[in-house]
Each structure stands twice: as structure tokens, then as C-alpha cells.
A = this chain, B = another copy of it.
């Protein structure tokens, strides 16, 4: 049998090409810019208020009225832009997913070359460090949605996009093109695993630096049961 890992793939993404968490945190990440400033302002105010309340009281812990009071907007304005609270939440989730999409390219281009380079230098993939930077920056939002009382749709969406892409990035082309049932389980396995690692990081107070987390993540992928566990 053959090796699982991709071979023909180009090179590892350069560090400075990765999107900075700072830049990603901004607004209007998705869709076209509103032509009327009032709309843009109202939507942003509503989204900001939603996040603020989400962190304080969790999903379902506040009403449309609370939201509009916090946003300092009329309730009618809310219904002008969103059908209901859920639509606003989905919109916010999509913003984040869109942010994360910037990491997909470097993920897909890891390949076996990247893994080999890591084995030689011991350095984690730079984009992984950036990813954990971003995750730390948006930690409140992620914790609110991934933790208890969160939104399972978001977990699923995350797993289906980011985590799965991460795993596919190091999968051999043959398996990617014609995945057997077992390969799909393999992908699901590692995709969920990484979501679990991120959650563990969040729930223990993000004590590790982004660099440490990137190393841990890489270590976990390369480890095998029976290997000595240490760090």
C-alpha cells in the first residue's frame, strides 16, 4: 500500500501571507457593502449588541427588546433587517466562518513537504499559530457558541469547513478524490478531534500561547498510541 500523505503538493504557505487576526476581526467580512450607510450602521449596531448580550446571557437569554435597547435602535428597525433573532445569529456565524476561510488556502497546501519540514525544524506551521491567534481574539464568541448552551449548527458548520479542510490538506490525492467510507470516518475523526482540542483550550482558560497550541496540535496528529506522552 501507499503513503497517505500528499506528495505532489507545492510549498508551505508563507507566514506574512496569512491574514492577521486583527484584520479579520473587522466588519463587512461577508457579502457586498451596503449602499445606504443607515443600513450598515443599524446592522452593525445590532450585531455588536447581539454579541455583547450573547456573552452576558447566552443564546436565548435575551429578547428582541433587550437587543434593540442595547443597540439603541427601534424594534421595528430590527425586523427591517432580520426575520428573527436566529437569522441574526446565523449571520454572525457566517461572518466568523468567512473569516476562517482565509486559513483554508495554507491548510490545503501543507502537503508532505510541509510535514517533512516540520519534522526537521520542529517548528509548527505558521498559519496554525495565526489560527490560534484568531481563535483567542474571538474566544468569547466561540466559547458562547461552542460550549454548553451554544449552537450545534455552528459546531457542525465549523467541523464541516475548517477542521475538515485541515485534515483533507494532508490527505493523499487519491483518497481525497475517491474517498471510501473508512476515509470519511478518518476525516471525521480528526476533524472532530481538533474541534475538541480547541474547546479544551477554551475551557481551561487559554493558558497556552498560540505557538504552544500549534505545537500541541501538530504533535497530536503525529502521535501514536503507545508513544511516550510528554511535552
Contacts and interface: CB of A to CB of B under 8 A. Distances in A.
A1 interface: yes
A180 interface: yes
A189 B196 contact: yes
Given A151-B152, A152-B146, A226 B4 contact: yes
A30 to B, nearest CB: 20
Q: In the complex this chain forms, how many copies of it are found?
A: 2
A94 interface: no
B188 A197 contact: yes
A216 interface: yes
16 contacts: A4-B227, A5-B225, A146-B152, A150-B152, A152-B152, A152-B155, A180-B230, A182-B219, A184-B204, A185-B197, A185-B200, A185-B220, A186-B220, A189-B196, A192-B197, A222-B224
